Structure 1
Amino acid sequence: MASSTLKEAGVPLGTHAADVRKRVVAMEQLLERSFKIPGTNQHVGLDAILGLIPVGGDLIAALMGLYMVWEARNIGMSKGKMLRMVGNVGFDWLIGLIPGIGDAADFFFRSNTRNAKMILRHIDKHHPGSATIDN
């Protein structure tokens, strides 16, 4: 039943590179660019908002970020690149544990954006038929 709900919401469930691309882009947007700060051109996402919750919020955001590493594994990315992605998530999590500094760091170090770009470059190189044109 949950899978039919996700499918109805427009989230592709397949293992094809095009489906992975859509899920990774959606997760990156959710975690890094969900909301625009009024009066600015700055966007924040769930990662920054969860970071305001001491310890537990950063842990939840890190677990959500690791989802992209799981997707990278599913499309056959190298272990070296996946280790780099885990390092990005780990650094974001560790810096987030420092009160004040961690909250500010979410604006400058966007691990999920970095990881999404790595996955998208891999997909573009190894699955060129799944490329999309953004308007």
Structure 2
Amino acid sequence: MSDSLAERERTLPRKERTRADASQHLERLAWLLDDLIRIPVLGWRIGLDAILGLIPGIGDAATSLASIYILLSAVRFGVSKITLARMGLNIGIDYVLGAVPLVGDLFDASWKSNRRNLDLLRRHMQLPGHNARRARMSDWLFVTLIAVALIGLLFASFFVAVYALSRLARLAD
């Protein structure tokens, strides 16, 4: 970081410095999950979401939990409930379609739900007066409901997978 940029960040009000740090932190997380590695010749970028998605069950669940962190952070920025719902839907679509063997792995590489959610957060932060709205208790309850639904989806898919495997094992006997 250049000295002038570092100096400007130090002169920002504390609240704005915290927002800048949090935004930078979320940018890094989205980059890790969606754009970590560039595929030569094709020019496509994939992240840990697509790579860990190759591990059946565990990979998609782990990256979805990391995605929920971005959703929870959006509440602190005062994002509207409709935007939170869109962010939750992006995570849900990524998890459900990403869990489909092989096709889901290709989908994970192209959908980039974390990048989409970060773009939604950036759009919110560019709105005039976005600092005026603070997170309310209803926002936290709403995003908790979304997170519980997504985690419930994770557990439900795990139990469906265990059930399907047990049925296959019985058929093999």
Q: TM-score range by the shorter chain?
A: 0.7 to 0.9
Q: Give the drift of 1:115.
A: 0.1
Residues in 2 aligned to 1:23 and 1:83: alpha-carbon distance in whole angstroms? 22
Residues in 1 aligned to 2:82 and 2:18: alpha-carbon distance in whole angstroms? 22
Conserved in 1, the CA contact under 8 Å of 2:52 and 2:60?
Answer: yes
Aligned partner (choices 64, 82, 88) of residue 84 of structure 2:
82
Aligned-pair Cα RMSD in Å? 1.5
- Counterpart in 2 of 1:50? 52
Residues in 1 aligned to 2:75 and 2:19: alpha-carbon distance in whole angstroms? 12
Instruction: Report percent identity of matched pairs.
Output: 36
Deviations 1:20-45 (A, max 9, x none): 21112111111111111133311110
Partner AA of 1:52 in structure 2: L
Q: Give the unaligned 5+ runs of structure 1.
A: 1-13, 128-135
Give the alignment of 1:1-135 within 5 angstroms.
16-125=18-127, 126=130
Partner AA of 2:126 in structure 1: D
TM-score norm. by structure 2 comes to 0.62
Greater relative contact order structure (CA < 8 Å, 6+ sep)? 1
Q: Give the unaligned 5+ runs of structure 2.
A: 1-14, 132-173
Partner AA of 1:36 in structure 2: R
Partner AA of 1:104 in structure 2: L
The number of equivalent residue pairs is 114
TM-score norm. by structure 1 comes to 0.78
Partner AA of 2:117 in structure 1: N
SS of the residue corresponding to residue 54 of structure 1 reads coil
